[in-house]
Amino acid sequence: MKKSWWIVVGIVGFLGIPFAFVGLQVLWFAPQWAGRAVPVIQREVDPGVLLKKYEWFKDASAALDKKVADMQVYESRLQVFEGQVMARTDREQRYGWLSELAGVKASYNQLAAEYNANMAKMNYRFTNIGMLPQGATDPLPREYKPYETN
């Protein structure tokens, strides 16, 4: 009985050494990790940094709205040619507008994807009603429809 007890103690002791080593590492490095995290958190929640992020989202939102309006202008121009027999100059104009519309849609898709990706990175409080910067009245959309394909 005494012999088997020493075997159990030896096995537990042998297995406990790695866990003790890991525990010492955590105790040693945890203050260093916390010390490095504090400046990062302070920098990211600094009011100046948050204001710049808010302004980027506000500018991007306005640019996306403009691109939607531009697409509607091109689509209304193109409706003029629907069902008509067109002269060569009309066809050239139509193809030019189609090309410009495709460019606006590609630009919209790029900016919407960037907006959505940046918005998903963090829970930005300026998208919540009641947590807007002073002077702001409307919360920013959390996401834009990311792709125009037609």
- Gap between the Cα atoms of 74 and 97, Å rounded: 6
What is residue 132's predicted lDDT score, i.e. its pLDDT?
A: 59
Residues 6+ apart with CB under 8 A from 57: 115, 118, 119, 124, 126, 140
Tell me, yes or no, if the pTM score tops 0.75: no
pLDDT of residue 91: 87
- Residue 57 pLDDT: 87
Instruction: Find the mean pLDDT for residues 26-45.
Output: 71
Residue 42 has what pLDDT?
Answer: 76
Task: Give me the pLDDT at residue 29, please.
Answer: 67
Cα(141)–Cα(44) distance, integer angstroms: 21
Lowest mean per-residue pLDDT among 8-12, 70-74, 110-114: 8-12
User: Is a pLDDT exceeding 60 seen at residue 1?
Assistant: no
Distance between alpha carbon 149 and the CA centroid of its chain, in Å?
21
- The alpha helices in 45-87, defined as continuous H runs, are 47-79
pLDDT of 141 above 60:
yes
Sign of CA pseudo-dihedral 16, 18, 24, 27: negative
3-state secondary structure of 80: coil
What integer best gives the mean pLDDT of the chain? 78
What is the pLDDT, as a whole number, of residue 144?
72
Determine the Cα–Cα distance for residues 129 and 142; give it in Å rounded to an integer.
12
Tell me which residue has tokens 């193809």. Answer: 95
* 75-127: pLDDT as tens digits: 999 998 887 888 889 889 999 999 999 999 999 999 999 988 888 776 565 55
Q: At what angle do helices 88-121 and 47-79 cross, to 10 degrees?
A: 160
Q: Write down how long the chain is.
A: 150
pLDDT > 70: percent of the chain: 63
Q: Is the pLDDT of residue 60 over 60?
A: yes
